[in-house]
């Protein structure tokens, strides 16, 4: 009788995840499909499978275990027994994810298993490190969003993308002048300093654009600061919970906002270049435009830790694409039986990522060779 009463009590139980718990969309990780789970109150995160995710997102305190079990059986053709429910609640309760369960202590280290636009920088040091520029990065990003967030709307966004498309088309029709301008920049020290300063400001806008876009889509900005690895000093902006933003489109926009900001920075210089007469000023502007477009393109290379890698992960629905692709290709080239365990979609994703990366890196290498050749000829 006691077993029956316990089963009845379990069937009537209405489990509820804490509101701070976030669950990501499906992601390929090797041959498996996983979902990331994060408790934003403690920072702890881990992976679960599609079946566990199916139950977790329905644990809202209004459905009983019997109702959850019925939905699970309809979806997967199998009903869970009391022992399965016990193990699931033990896992979730042990991690403090269930309402009413004690929370574990917050871990000392940050630990970010997700692919995201910006990771937490290293500790401060003399030759390499970082420092925060604002005490409340989320509030700062909010103020910037109130001033510029309208640019992410459909109308303004379409206008700006059309302007950028026109700029890139016109520049593509003048490759010789742009390469010659870049060569002139590298042979004139004063001009080189001016262009380098402008490109550094562009990288600052790049990072802030990530934060503004994240605020636009309900994300949280963790830090805004400076990171250095002497002699290089750049700004950074971390986006917390990036992988849990609602909708793939939002995540792609947040990841791509930096490169778009780099190109928007070039728009007034492009207009100036169109109107400038032949001479040193036009040459300098041409060099800035060439190097600025190259900078934006480099950010979109699908290699970690660049934004292009994050975008590729979202487009392909994969987690740690570089690592997973390398593992799969190694198995496939060795004709290992383990490669056959990868589902068809995973094989296509990893092979496609590898091919796309090679083509992108090759295109940038050609552009770099052209630049070096022009500089050598101008010297």
Contact assessment for residue 258 and residue 236, using Cβ atoms and an 8 Å cutoff? no
Give the pLDDT score at 196.
95
For 5-29, the pLDDT digits (tens) are 888 888 899 999 999 999 999 999 9
DSSP code for 107: P
Burial 275-295 (b: 16+ CB within 10 A, else e): ebeeeeebbbbbbbbbbbbbb
Question: 85-134: per-residue pLDDT in tens?
Answer: 999 999 899 888 998 888 776 654 444 444 666 545 445 666 788 899 99
Q: Which residues contact 24 (CB under 8 A, 6 or more apart)?
A: 35, 36, 37, 114, 243, 244
Percent of the chain with pLDDT over 70: 93
Shortest CA distance to 200 belongs to which of 148, 290, 287, 262?
262
The predicted structure's pLDDT at residue 320: 93
Nearest one of 36, 242, 205, 215 to 119, comparing CA atoms: 242
Model confidence pLDDT, tens digit, residues 208-250: 999 999 999 999 999 999 998 888 889 999 999 999 998 999 9
Domain boundaries, the chain: 2-94, 128-378
* Residue 129: per-residue pLDDT: 86
Using the Cα atoms of residue 295, residue 299, residue 301 and residue 304 in order, give the sign of their dihedral. Answer: positive
What is the pLDDT, as a whole number, of residue 113? 44
Beta-bridged to residue 17, according to DSSP, are 98
Are 222 and 120 contacting, i.e. CB atoms less than 8 angstroms apart? yes
How confident is the model over 336-354, as a mean pLDDT?
Answer: 93
Give the mean pLDDT of 33-38.
Answer: 95
Residues 267-319 pLDDT 10s:
999 999 999 999 999 999 999 999 999 999 989 999 999 999 999 999 999 99
Q: What's the CA gap between 300 and 306, in Å, rounded?
A: 7
> What pLDDT shows up at residue 288?
97
- Residues 6 or more apart whose CB falls under 8 angstroms from that of 204 comprise 235
Mean pLDDT to the nearest integer, 130-152: 94
Classify strands 21-23 and 220-229 as parallel, antiparallel or unpaired. Answer: unpaired
Residue 336 vs residues 154, 323, 340: alpha-carbon distances, Å: 49, 17, 8
What pLDDT sits at residue 117? 64
Structure tokens at 72: 């699970």
pLDDT at 377: 74
**What values do phi and psi take at 179, rounded to 5?**
-65, -40
CA distances from 40 to 44, 112, 221 (A): 7, 12, 13
Can you spell out the DSSP letters for 208-275? HHHHHHHHHTT-EEEEEEEEEETTEEEEEEEEETGGGSSSHHHHHHHHHHHHHHHHHHHHHHHHHHHH
DSSP-derived secondary structure for 37-104: EEETTT--EEEE-HHHHHHHTT-BSSS-HHHHHHHHHHHHS-PPPHHHHHHHHHHHHHTT-BTTSPPP
Gyration radius from the chain CA atoms: 25
């Amino acid at each position: 009788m006691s077993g029956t009463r316990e089963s009845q009590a379990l069937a009537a139980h209405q489990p509820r995840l804490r509101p701070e718990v976030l669950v990501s969309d499906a992601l390929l990780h090797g041959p498996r499909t996983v979902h990331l789970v994060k408790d934003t109150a403690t920072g702890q995160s881990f992976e679960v499978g599609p079946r566990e995710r199916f139950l977790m997102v329905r644990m809202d305190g209004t459905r009983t275990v019997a109702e959850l079990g019925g939905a699970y059986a309809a979806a997967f053709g199998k009903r869970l027994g009391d022992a399965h429910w016990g193990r699931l609640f033990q896992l979730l309760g042990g991690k403090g994810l269930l309402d009413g369960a004690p929370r574990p202590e917050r871990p000392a280290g940050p630990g970010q298993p997700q692919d995201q636009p910006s990771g937490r920088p290293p500790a401060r040091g003399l030759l390499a490190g970082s420092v925060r520029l604002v005490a409340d990065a989320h509030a700062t990003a909010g103020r910037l969003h109130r001033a510029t967030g309208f640019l992410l709307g459909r109308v303004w966004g379409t206008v700006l993308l059309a302007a950028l498309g026109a700029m890139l088309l016109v520049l593509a029709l003048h490759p010789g002048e742009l390469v010659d301008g870049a060569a002139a920049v590298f042979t004139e020290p004063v001009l080189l300093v001016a262009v380098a300063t402008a490109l550094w400001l562009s990288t600052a806008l790049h990072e802030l654009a990530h934060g503004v876009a994240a605020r636009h889509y309900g994300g949280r900005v963790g830090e805004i600061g400076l990171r250095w690895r002497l002699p290089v000093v750049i700004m950074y902006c971390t986006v917390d919970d990036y992988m849990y933003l609602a909708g793939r489109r939002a995540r792609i926009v947040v990841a791509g906002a930096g490169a778009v900001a780099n190109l928007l920075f070039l728009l007034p210089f492009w207009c100036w270049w169109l109107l400038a007469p032949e001479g040193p000023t036009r040459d300098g502007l041409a060099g800035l435009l060439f190097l600025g477009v190259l900078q934006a393109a480099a950010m979109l290379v699908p290699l970690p830790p660049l934004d292009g890698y994050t975008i590729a992960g979202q487009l392909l629905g994969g987690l740690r694409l570089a690592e997973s692709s390398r593992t799969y290709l190694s198995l496939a080239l060795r004709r290992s039986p383990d490669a056959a365990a990868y589902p068809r979609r995973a094989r296509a994703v990893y092979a496609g990522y590898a091919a796309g990366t090679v083509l992108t890196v090759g295109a940038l290498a050609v552009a770099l060779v052209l630049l070096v050749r022009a500089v050598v000829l101008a010297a």
